[in-house]
Amino acid sequence: MIVLGAAMILAGVGLFFASTVLLLRAYRGRRIPYRISNETMPESSNLMQLIGMLLIIATGFFVARELAPWNFLVLLLTAIAQFIIFAIHNRRVKAEQHVDDVE
């Protein structure tokens, strides 16, 4: 069961980051708002992120109780990584806008 649980966590993290890639593509050249709502997030990205989170959480509750404390840590680290990716994207967009303003 632990192997199945680890596979579910990896699938959840993969879906979470696939959702992030879709969001970055949707906001190419524009800043990503930190207050993302259903209106500002692509629908497929929103669904992928939700399924990824549910896979990560369900692993500890239903599949492998041995992984129960760790799945929440994985979810937290995944969310922090997504926030860092958004910050890097927004900083890059801001730098590109400043270069355009100077020229």
In the chain, where the domains are located: 2-102
Pick from 3-7, 55-59, 85-89 the range whose average pLDDT is largest.
85-89
- Pick left, alpha or beta for residue 50 (phi over 0 → left; psi -120 to 50 → alpha; otherwise beta): alpha
Dist. CA 83–CA 85, nearest whole Å = 5
Supply the angle between the helices 2-26 and 43-58 in degrees, to the nearest 10: 160
Backbone angles phi, psi at 30, to 5 degrees: -130, 155
Indicate the pLDDT class of residue 90, thresholds 50, 70 and 90. Answer: very high
Q: Calculate the CA 63 to chain-centre distance.
A: 22
Task: Tell me the average pLDDT across 61-79.
Answer: 84
Q: What is the pTM of this model?
A: 0.80
Task: Quote the pLDDT of residue 38.
Answer: 62
Helix (H, G, I), strand (E, B) or coil at 41: coil
Query: Does residue 60 carry a pLDDT above 70?
Result: yes
pLDDT greater at residue 38 or residue 63: 63
Indicate the pLDDT class of residue 44, thresholds 50, 70 and 90. Answer: confident
